[in-house]
Amino acid sequence: MASLAGAGLQFHTIAHHTSVSEDARAAVLANPGFGTHFTDHMVTIEWTDGRGWHDAVIGPRQPIALDPAAAVLHYAQEIFEGLKAYKQTDASIALFRPEANAARFNQSAQRLAMPELPEAVFVEAVEKLVQIDRAWIPDGEGASLYLRPFMIATEAFLGVRPAKQYKFIVIASPAGYYFKSGAPAVSIWVSDYTRAAPGGTGAAKCGGNYAASLVPQAEAIARGHDQVVFLDAAEHKWIEELGGMNLYFVFDDGTLLTPSLTGTILPGITRDSLLTLAREEGLKVEESRYSLDQWRADAGSGKLVETFACGTAAVVTPIGKVTGRDGEFTIGSGGSGQLTQKLKAKLVAIQRGDAQDKHGWIRKIS
Ligand SMILES: *Cc1c(COP(=O)(O)O)cnc(C)c1O
């Protein structure tokens, strides 16, 4: 197993006293927002061709020095992950399915011609950062410590080939509520742009996909919508996903449908977890393709009753209104549906340690 090579890497810790006063930290944690505040430490691990992974350090969070010719700055050899540490109801700390993030990280690495990181090292890096920065985990419903592992090509070389030097980094950011439960459903715009083409990088979590989604997302905002939904590149007909969240459709007979993983859709861990939870509820869940025309027709006839988006950052977000070049349609009553709420509550209860973890998804941190 390639992913075991390099395991047993020793982490060198450079502990560092916070540069932030306790009062300032408390103020941040009372209202963390998303992605603007960061903890005191970071993990870095180096990879060099011929040597593999080395120099694993947990040290003060600080700027990184890069040669201006570093490959990541020119050809976007970059991948990332997103996962959360939760303060559980019993005050313990837990990660949700970090092994799944580690596995997906290596899938992304393969697609971007980058070295794989042993899954155990990925998980250990994340755990060690959470341990040292545990004072930065906010309390309260919906709050968490958002973890951002990523890898960049650092070799100074302008030729076009996979780099021979990389840096893996983990940073952490306290996160508050994305959307409150019972908050109004979001409105989405059907983009004319495409996110991913067959054979492209749609299934990899790489920064380049996000760079290409910024114009479509800005267009949606300019038109008064919250998010953008992408259709398939070949026929511009089949629903794929939002810029950073997967989609679920709920029908009046209780069936759930989510677009199948065709290679152009990001395999979300939230999507996968909800597949399991829905089946456990006795619901019929289908992974198949679903067209925009059918979505509109089913919303009109009442056959389709709910639609929601899901992902680590916002968990589960109801979709109320869809607008495209051919006009707009409303889903259900335009608010949050019952099954959407129920599935979200089930997932959140497991993440917070309020419901039994039957699937081994919770990894406690001591
Ligand atoms: C990360 C991501 C998701 C959601 O994945 P989770 O593992 O559930 O957080 C969905 N779509 C895209 C494009 C993503 O980058």
Residue 273 alpha carbon, nearest atom of ligand 1? 8
Q: For ligand 1, say whether the CB of 82 is within 6 Å of any of its atoms.
A: yes
Superfamily grouping for domain 186-352: D-amino Acid Aminotransferase, subunit A, domain 2 (3.20.10.10)
Q: From the alpha carbon of 310, which atom of ligand 1 is closest? A: 8
Domain range list for the chain: 5-175, 186-352
Which pairs count as long-range contacts for 163-167, CB under 8 Å and 24+ apart, including other chains?
163/71, 163/72, 163/77, 163/114, 164/48, 164/49, 165/46, 165/47, 165/48, 165/49, 166/46, 166/47, 166/114, 166/115, 167/44, 167/45, 167/46, 167/47, 167/64
- 313 C-alpha vs ligand 1 centroid, how far in Å? 9
pLDDT for residue 19 = 75
Per-residue pLDDT of the chain (366 residues; tens, 9 = 90+): 344 445 679 999 998 877 788 999 999 999 998 999 999 999 999 999 999 999 999 999 999 999 999 999 999 999 999 999 999 988 899 999 999 999 999 999 999 999 999 999 999 999 999 999 999 999 888 899 999 999 999 999 999 999 999 999 999 999 987 655 455 799 999 999 999 999 999 999 999 999 999 999 999 999 999 999 999 999 999 999 999 999 999 999 999 999 999 999 999 999 999 999 999 999 999 999 999 999 999 999 999 999 999 999 989 999 999 999 989 999 999 988 999 999 999 999 999 999 999 999 999 998
Is the CB of 312 within 6 Å of ligand 1? yes
Structure tokens, 110: 């393969």
Identify the pLDDT of residue 133. 96
**CA-to-CA distance for 233 and 326, rounded, in angstroms?**
18
Between helices 98-111 and 119-132, what is the axis angle to 10°?
A: 130
Ligand 1 atom closest to 246 (CA): 10
- Ligand 1 centroid to residue 202 C-alpha, Å: 11
Could you tell me if the CB of 203 is within 6 A of ligand 1? no
Contact 270, 310 (CB under 8 A): yes
Q: Is 269 in the pocket of ligand 1 (CB under 6 A)?
A: yes
Q: How many residues does the chain have?
A: 366
Q: Does CATH number 3.30.2180.10 belong to domain 5-175?
A: no
- Comparing C-alpha atoms, which of 246, 260, 348 is closest to residue 307? 246
**Residue of the nearest CA to atom 2 in ligand 1?**
244
18 within 8 A of 25, measured Cβ to Cβ: yes
Q: Which pTM does this prediction carry? A: 0.95
268 lines ligand 1 (CB under 6 A): yes
